Amino acid sequence: MAVRTLARPRGHAIQRRASVPPVALAIILVAPAIDLFAMLQPSPLLISAGLVAASAAALTLVLLWVRFPRTSWLFAAAAAAIAGLAMRLVGADIASALSLLTIVALGVGGAFRSSGVKLEAA
């Protein structure tokens, strides 16, 4: 009787690391940039541009979360973006803070991490 050993189990699922494409990051960062500019130079045009940018960011984050449903940081960023969009529709001042919360959620998850740099264990 011959016995064969396997180096690794074949029933193992391959896990992909959730990543945010640079184009998506650019779309997400437009709304906070417009918020900052609107604080410096208030204009009704900037309010509508911020609303469009926030809806694009919320849609982008929801689509990314649907692609990687097990990532809690993408869910948190999408939830903050949707809440910020809702606050913009109502006209609340907290909408710009929720846009920043979206960026913080992405940063905690590692969305701004460089893919080429690997950390060494000490």
CA distance 68 to 63: 9
* Structural tokens at position 120: 């060494």
Tens digits of residue pLDDT in 10-49: 555 555 566 788 999 999 999 999 999 999 998 999 999 9
pLDDT value of residue 10: 55
pLDDT class for 2, splitting at 50, 70, 90?
confident
Rounded-to-integer distance, Cα 30 and Cα 49, Å: 10
44 by Cβ neighbours in 10 Å (0-12 / 13-18 / 19+) ranks as exposed
What pLDDT was estimated at residue 98? 93
Backbone φ, ψ for residue 14 (5° rounding): -80, 125
Residue 77: how many other CB atoms lie within 10 Å: 30
Question: Residue range 64-85: average pLDDT?
Answer: 94
